Amino acid sequence: MPEDGALLTDPSNEVCPNFAADLFRLLRDDIRRGTEASDDDVIARLVQLWTQDHNERLVQWTAQRAAAAQAADEAEHQRELQEEEAQRLVEQETELERLEAEKKKPKMNDFDESKQIPNVLAPRPSQYALQKLKTI
């Protein structure tokens, strides 16, 4: 049994020992000498004590399993809350990224439909050429 008193196995599978067997003869003799009861009374008392202890361990096992199930449910609930929070944060992050992308998107300027498009392009010297001319 662990230090905290928790049961490791299900006591419902246990069987009452045969206190009438030779294995328990010394125990029965000691009890009979101390109480001056008959052998049948000693056996009945041992069975009664074992049954009482067994029933207490069954109650403890049931409570232990119920507590473990409740703890598992609470842990599952906490995990679900954390997943929902993580999902919400991801959605917020995605929304912020979308808004940032919209801010960075180049905007088209309005244009005047009545204005004519020129047929000739004005020559534009390269930046390198302009820099060379400035240094001369």
pLDDT band for 2, please (50, 70, 90 cuts): low
pLDDT at residue 118, rounded to an integer:
80
Contact 19, 43 (CB under 8 A): yes
79-124 pLDDT, tens digit each: 999 999 999 999 999 998 888 887 777 777 777 788 888 888 888 8
Inform me whether the pLDDT recorded for 9 exceeds 60: yes
Q: Convert 2-31 to b/e letters by CB count within 10 Å (16 or more is b).
A: eeeeeeeeebeeeeeeebeeeebeeebeeb
pLDDT at residue 34, rounded to an integer:
81
